[in-house]
């Protein structure tokens, strides 16, 4: 089943997610295309596609893209933003595709929500031998003081909830344990995105933490983010600023048949 926090929160926050979440830099996409050997003849599965932040870039390669998303609100937005994608309801642990039917699998900003063992078994099942798997992630650069303050607000409100946000698991032993993939590799790319005070508030609202709060606490959290944008020395009086991220891309390939 889909994590209730993810399902409820992201269903409510799909519009904010689309408006405020960062996309992926050109260098990261070019890296994925090269390492997964994508061409216009490729069939790519984008798992937990959300509102299509990666899906739209995969479509730009000319590949046929199947976008699987379990949350109805996200899936509706995905269909609007990416009308050329084959959008389907489904979960990483039970993919709605036949065996060995895709050349590549991607899962952007999502693997930490999966049952890792079940998801990797499904990725191996639907991938053709030699097909590639890529797991891109955007992470805010907490070395920047105001970004660290922003995250500290979200962390404090998250501690009020009965659940904890899952962290990205250690992927290397998971991949090795799956027994179906080559050694995991990784690369990083700078990803600084334009932001405004309103977009910063929308970004906070798009997180599973804030979306899962009750109305009163959600309003309190978002007001703290507004206050940060008004008062932090690096942001005060600025209508526009850069929100620095680092994009991580992890990738491997399905082993050939023995």
Query: What's 107's domain CATH number?
Result: 3.40.50.150
| Per-position DSSP letters for 178-220, written without gaps between them | HSSBPPPEEEEEEEEEEE-HHHHHHHHHTSHHHHTS-HHHHHH
225 part of a folded domain: no
> Is the separation of the CB atoms in 103 and 128 below 8 Å?
yes
Q: What is the pLDDT of residues 48-85, one digit of tens each?
A: 999 999 999 999 999 999 999 999 999 999 999 999 99
258 part of a folded domain: no
pLDDT score for 79: 96
- How is residue 84 annotated by DSSP? T
Total residue length of the chain: 258
229 part of a folded domain: no
Burial class (CB in 10 A: 0-12, 13-18, 19+), 193: middle
More confident residue, 15 or 254: 254
232 part of a folded domain: no
Write out the two tokens for 203. Answer: 């970004």
Helix axes of 171-178 and 116-126: crossing angle, nearest 10 degrees: 50
Write out the two tokens for 103. Answer: 């050349």
Q: What is the largest CA-CA distance in the chain?
A: 62
pLDDT score for 164: 54
Q: What is the mean pLDDT of the chain?
A: 92
- Tell me how far apart the alpha carbons of residues 155 and 233 are, in angstroms, rounded to a whole number: 21
The range of the structural domain enclosing residue 125 comes to: 4-142+164-192+245-253
Write out the two tokens for 122. Answer: 């499904």
Mean pLDDT over 161-186 rounds to: 81
Give residue 166's pLDDT band: very low, low, confident or very high (50, 70, 90): low
188 part of a folded domain: yes
238 part of a folded domain: no
Q: What is the pLDDT of residues 2-47, one digit of tens each?
A: 445 444 445 557 888 899 899 999 999 999 999 999 999 999 999 9
Segment (H or E) for 186: strand 185-195
Q: What is the pLDDT of residues 84-121, one digit of tens each?
A: 999 999 999 999 999 999 999 999 999 999 999 999 99
Q: pTM of the prediction? A: 0.89
9 part of a folded domain: yes
What total of structural domains would you count in the chain?
1
Terminus-to-terminus CA distance in the chain, angstroms? Answer: 33
156 part of a folded domain: no
């Amino acid at each position: 089943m889909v994590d209730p926090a993810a399902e409820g929160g992201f269903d409510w926050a799909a519009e904010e997610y689309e408006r405020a979440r960062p996309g992926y830099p050109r260098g990261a996409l070019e890296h994925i295309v090269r390492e997964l050997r994508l061409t216009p003849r490729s069939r790519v599965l984008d798992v937990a596609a959300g509102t299509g932040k990666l899906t739209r870039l995969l479509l730009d390669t000319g590949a046929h893209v199947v976008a699987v998303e379990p949350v109805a609100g996200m899936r509706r937005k995905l269909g609007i933003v990416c009308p050329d994608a084959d959008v389907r309801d489904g979960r990483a642990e039970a993919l709605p595709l036949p065996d060995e039917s895709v050349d590549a699998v991607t899962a952007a900003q999502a693997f930490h929500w999966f049952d890792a063992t079940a998801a990797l078994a499904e990725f191996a099942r639907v991938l053709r031998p030699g097909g590639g798997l890529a797991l891109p992630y955007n992470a805010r650069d907490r070395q920047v003081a105001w970004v660290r303050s922003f995250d500290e607000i979200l962390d404090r409100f998250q501690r009020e909830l009965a659940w904890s946000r899952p962290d990205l698991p250690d992927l290397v032993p998971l991949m090795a344990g799956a027994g179906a993939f080559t050694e995991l590799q990784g690369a990083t790319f700078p990803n600084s995105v334009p932001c405004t005070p309103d977009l910063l508030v929308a970004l906070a609202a798009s997180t599973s933490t804030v979306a899962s709060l009750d109305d009163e606490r959600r309003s309190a959290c978002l007001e703290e983010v507004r206050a940060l944008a008004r008062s932090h020395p690096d942001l005060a009086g600025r209508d526009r600023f850069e929100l620095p991220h680092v994009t991580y891309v992890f990738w491997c390939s399905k082993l050939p048949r023995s």
